Each structure stands twice: as C-alpha cells, then as structure tokens.
Amino acid sequence: MTFRMPNLFLVFSLLFCAQATFAQGDIKLRNASFEDFPRCCVPPNGWYACGGSELGTPDIQPGSFDVNLPAVNGLTYVGMVTRDNDTWESISQRLPRPLMSGQCYTFSLKIAYSDNLISQSRVRRVNVKYDTPIKVRIWGGNGYCNRSELLDETPLISNTEWKQYNFRFKPKRSFSYFIIEAFYRTPTIVPYNGNILVDDASVIELIPCDEAEEPEVVEVEQPDDPSIADVSPTPTPPERSRPRTDPSPDPGGSTSVNEDERIPEEYSKPSTNILKLEDKEIAEGQVIRIERLYFAADSSNLNTASYPVLNEIYYFLRKNPGIVIEIAGHTNNRCEDVFCNELSEKRALAVSYFLQQKGIPSRRLRSRGYGKSDPVASNTTKSGRKRNQRVEIKILSLDG
C-alpha cells in the first residue's frame, strides 16, 4: 500500500485563490474620508452633489452652521440635511468596478448628527434648528445620482458622537454608481428639518453570501477636539457637481412603492374619485367609512397608497372649517382585546396626526379606538373580517 502525503501546496494555493478572489472584488471609494476645505454648499472632492441648486448641496464640515464635531478620520467630513420643503441631500460617485448582481457585500460608515445645526427654514424663512433625527440610505444606480435600487439603510441617527454603522447588501442588478443619501423617517407624512454627518467610508467588501452578518452599530473612539482654525487640509480642487437627475427610484429598479417611500408627487393633490364628501348631504352623526386606507400588517404605519384618500379628507375639512370629526379605528376579532384596542386607537391617531401635520387644528379632530367591539360584518369569513378592519369618520359638529 502506497501512502501519499497530501499536496499542501495545492491546498494552500486553493485557499489563497479563494481569498484573492474576494479581495479582487472589493471596491474602494475615492476620497472615502471626505477630505477637502471646510466650507458650505460644496460636495467633497471626488463626490457629486445630487441636488444642485434646486435640492441643495452638502457641506464639508466642521465649521458651517454651528457644526463643530471633530472628524473621526482625517480633518473633514460631509454634512447633509433634509428640509421642511420636501428636499434632501445626497452624494454620488462612479465606482472603479461595478457592484455585481447576486453578489454579497459589506460596507460601513461613521455617522453622527449635530444637535446644534442652525439654518433657514425653506418654508418659514427664519433660522431654525435642523435637529430632528434622520437616516442614511445607500442606493445603487447606473448613472450619477440614479437611485435604481435601495441597497440598505440605517435606523434614525440620534447619536451626537461618532458610531460605526455597518451595511450588508446583495444587489438584484449590477450597478456602477453608488449613492449615499440623507433621508427622513419613513413613512414620511410631513417633511422636516434634520441633519446627518458622515465620515470614514470603508471599502465595499465582497463576502460569501452564506456568511451570516447582522447589521450592527459599533462604538467609535472619539477624536480630540481641535479648534476649527486648525482644520486646513490641502486637497486637489473639487470636481464640479453633475446636473440633478430625477430623485425618484428608477421604474426599472427593484424598489417597490410601500410604506418606506416618501409621499409621491401625484399624491400631493386630492383624489376626488375616492371619497366624494362634498357631494353628500352632511349631517351631524353621519358616519363615513374611509375606503382605500392601508396599514402595514398589525401596525399603525400608513402605506403611501393611503395618501390620496387622506388628502381628500384634508381638503374636505379645509373647505368646511366648522366641521369637527371623530376618527374611529376598528379591528376584526383576530386579536386579543388589549391588542385590538391599542391597534385601532393607534391607527385612528395616525390619521389624526396626518391631518394635523397638513394644517387641520387638533380641536377639530377626535380619535378613538373601538377594537373589535363594533363589527359591521361577520368575522367568520375573510371578506367580513376585511370589512371590520376599518377606519371611519363621524361628523360630530357642523359649526365647531
């Protein structure tokens, strides 16, 4: 019997090749620490602003708008905002090699927010704090600022010191462009002023798709606090920003319209073919079911498909300033009493909140959750349970 030694050279060669394959698939961003001269309204060198003059341009921080957090890597970082006029900021660059469809990647950013940022409200035209937490979204696309597929996003950022946020994504299509975007909480009922600070982008690392890794937040050692006067990098001149493209997702992409999208432009006006309240004979005590009102399952999160009917109710109330209504939430019997009561009340409150944020005074709105106590159909059938899972409005008063 002949004993053969294992071919260690072959084994190590295969292991090395496997590791090299993933290393060669890694993607390094240009100017990943966002180094440039600190100044307002200019994207960092190597990055393109996706908004232009219409949506606004990110800032190279620290030093503008009372932002003074020292950089965690290098001397500068990028600051981006969302605004109360439904505009927000993002930056983009072309990748040295594309993200490949079906491959898995990890990526990280150091992120914080400033509770001191002060700038002008685009709606009120006075200086206000941009201190409501927002989040960071990562997009893939095939053109500068082309948001074709939402790859991953953070939770709302409320830490005023740097933390590392890790992303993991598996593109459904191949993309040559990478977008880092500041965005509101979702669903976005009313746009608001917020800010985000971003530094120290990692390499986009190719990993095996069976490698389990949950997104996580990692504490970061905070830098010393140098004076702003000491911030004086010497970068190459910044590249010019490309013209703005349509900020909405590419219809050919994989991102579908759901509760995680902002209010679409077509929903900014009432939809008169859903609830024709103006055509009815309005009377105190009248109850009207709100059709085509959609929530996520077992949740009070409104789906964007609900905005047309909610906008119609808003226009009706604005046209009839004396009317006071009750917003009543109801469920079917497929839940415990406590949960049903809580869910129905929260859904009624969500409708009330939407109307208040649109400008209807709270004194004209009452909200109440009835749980499963007032069914309008049998709970023994699917169609009956669907009818019972509803929100209604009741006319309480015609003259306030």
Residues comprising the chain, all counted? 400
State which residues form the domain around 387. 265-397
Q: Are residues 25 and 108 in the same domain?
A: yes
Using a 10 angstrom Cβ sphere, with 0-12 exposed, 13-18 middle and 19 or more buried, the burial of residue 143 is: middle
Q: Are residues 322 and 200 in the same domain?
A: no
Q: Are residues 135 and 195 in the same domain?
A: yes
User: 373 lies in a domain?
Assistant: yes
Q: Are residues 221 and 272 in the same domain?
A: no
The CATH number covering residue 24 comes to: 2.60.120.260
The CATH number covering residue 354 comes to: 3.30.1330.60
pLDDT reported for residue 276:
55
Using a 10 angstrom Cβ sphere, with 0-12 exposed, 13-18 middle and 19 or more buried, the burial of residue 125 is: exposed
The rounded distance, in Å, linking the Cα atoms of 61 and 163 is 17
User: 285 lies in a domain?
Assistant: yes
Q: Are residues 336 and 199 in the same domain?
A: no
Q: Are residues 28 and 167 in the same domain?
A: yes
Question: Token pair 């890694």 is at which residue?
Answer: 26
Q: Which residue among 211, 230, 249 closes a domain?
A: 230
Q: Which residues of the chain have pLDDT under 50?
A: 1-3, 5-6, 8-23, 212-213, 225-275, 279
pLDDT reported for residue 268:
42
User: 344 lies in a domain?
Assistant: yes
Q: Are residues 271 and 217 in the same domain?
A: no
pLDDT reported for residue 24:
59
Around 207, how many Cα atoms within 13 Å sit in the side-chain half-sphere? 16
What is the per-residue DSSP string for 170-214?
--SS-EEEEEEEEE--SS-SS---EEEEEE----BEEE-TT----
Q: Are residues 207 and 307 in the same domain?
A: no
The number of domains in the chain is 2
Q: Are residues 273 and 141 in the same domain?
A: no
Q: Are residues 150 and 27 in the same domain?
A: yes
Using a 10 angstrom Cβ sphere, with 0-12 exposed, 13-18 middle and 19 or more buried, the burial of residue 362 is: exposed
pLDDT reported for residue 302:
79
User: 45 lies in a domain?
Assistant: yes
pLDDT reported for residue 223:
63
pLDDT reported for residue 265:
40
